[in-house]
Amino acid sequence: MKIMIFPSKYIQGDGAMNLLPEVMEKFGDKPFIVATKSMVETSKKLMGNKGKVVQFGGECSRSEIDRIKAIAKEFGATAIAAVGGGKPIDASKVIADEMNIPVIVCATIAATDAPTSGCAVLYTEEGVYVEVLYQKRNPDVVLMDTDIILKAPTRFLISGMGDALATFFEANSCEHTRSLSEAFALRTKTTMALTKLCLDMLLKYGRQAVKDAENGIKSEAVEAIIEANALLSGIGFESGGLGSAHSIHNGLTVLPATHHLYHGEKVAFGTLTGLHLYDDLGIIDEVYDFCIDVGLPVTFEDLHIPNVTEEELKEVAESSYLYNFMSHEPVELSVEKVIAALKKTDKIGREKKAAKGK
């Protein structure tokens, strides 16, 4: 069986967030907003005297979800909107799902796949991973406001590119091994086409988008990268599936020094390591160039682990097998092969950076 899942409506552009009151009104007269700290006042101003705005506590944990859900129930919320990054978005998706009401996502950064997907990552209050929660459906409306996204540090946009970079390669591996996607099914041809478009758009517009974003310039390249990071990467990972890149990301998280890096930055390094294990397109050099040019990590030093030991690399490689995505790769793998690929990623990364004078 093939399954493909989408958000119901995707809106992107300047001032998209200003549509929030109008969008929420269509779902009922008790709009309820969960806003990240820095967006509480903006959200209140935008909603006027309509609805209720609650500040998100910072972690997508069971206790925070229950706290906000109790306020939303008491208020009689007819729809929930999340205004912020991945964690408030994920928490709001879970609350809306459990209350059987619509969820509207207004993302303030384009760094992860949270805005469009129908799943959420649950953590303990201390920020330790617990599980992935799956919702009955994907968000009802997604608003990506270019103005707001450009106000955030460019590193978020770059990190989002790192996450999006893995999308095609992981779906491609899953397709070759007929592995199940995050929708627990095989892939449509549409999914495969969109993951390829995601990669093509990154390679075509990524470098220019970084330059433009750093200068606060709204451009075709910036718009294309927001679309690749949020829409194509989101649909692509969910309906396409995961592989070595996210496995290696998960493995890297066992090293505390890598916690200073964003999700997509570690995924980018994992993508390169994955290409050392399996690269049927012969594209690895192009991917290295891209990562170095936009500022994604290609060496152990970039990952803040310049003196990583053999023992630590073994731990990373072993932990990368935790969620079984490694089995989605079309080649025979072992912990030793993964360790060798991690080292090779760093070695070639250093050589290529030196050649570029970086």
As to burial, measured by CB atoms within 10 angstroms (0-12 exposed, 13-18 middle, 19+ buried), residue 297 is: buried
Q: Is 328 a catalytic residue?
A: no
Residues 64 and 91: beta-carbon distance below 8 Å = yes
In whole angstroms, how close is the CB of 138 to Zn ion at the nearest point? 16
Q: Is the dihedral of CA 226, 259, 152, 57 positive or negative?
A: positive
Q: Which of 97, 145, 163, 346 is catalytic?
A: 163
In whole angstroms, how close is the CB of 263 to Zn ion at the nearest point? 6
CB under 5 A: which stretch of 156-164, 196-204, 276-284, 342-350 binds Zn ion? Answer: 156-164
Is 163 annotated in a binding site? The answer is yes
**N-term to C-term CA, the chain:** 47
Q: Is 263 a catalytic residue?
A: yes
Q: Which lies closer to Zn ion via its Cβ, residue 175 or residue 182? A: 182
Q: Is 249 a catalytic residue?
A: yes
Q: Is residue 163 part of the contact set for Zn ion (CB under 5 A)?
A: yes
**Count of residues in the chain:** 358
Q: Which lies closer to Zn ion via its Cβ, residue 40 or residue 303? A: 303
CB under 5 A: which stretch of 74-82, 121-129, 160-168, 338-346 binds Zn ion? Answer: 160-168
Residues 145 and 19: beta-carbon distance below 8 Å = no
CB under 5 A: which stretch of 141-149, 162-170, 314-322, 348-356 binds Zn ion? Answer: 162-170
All residues at 6 or more sequence positions from 94 whose CB lies less than 8 Å from its CB, including other chains: 60, 65, 120, 122, 133, 135
Q: Is residue 90 part of the contact set for Zn ion (CB under 5 A)?
A: no
Q: Which lies closer to Zn ion via its Cβ, residue 163 or residue 223? A: 163
Q: Which lies closer to Zn ion via its Cβ, residue 59 or residue 163? A: 163
All residues at 6 or more sequence positions from 122 whose CB lies less than 8 Å from its CB, including other chains: 60, 61, 62, 65, 90, 94, 129, 130, 131, 132, 133
In whole angstroms, how close is the CB of 331 to Zn ion at the nearest point? 22
CA distances from 122 to 60, 92, 111, 222, 335 (A): 6, 12, 18, 30, 28
CB under 5 A: which stretch of 45-53, 100-108, 159-167, 171-179 binds Zn ion? Answer: 159-167
Residues that contact Zn ion, how many (by CB under 5 A): 1
CA angle, corner 323, sides to 318 and 325, nearest 5?
Answer: 95
Distance CA 192, CA 172 (A): 8
Q: Which of 249, 302, 328, 346 is catalytic?
A: 249
Q: Which lies closer to Zn ion via its Cβ, residue 12 or residue 247? A: 247
- Residues forming the active site: 163, 246, 249, 263
Q: Which residues of this chain interact with Zn ion, rule CB under 5 A?
A: 163
Binding residues for NAD(+): 86-90, 117, 123
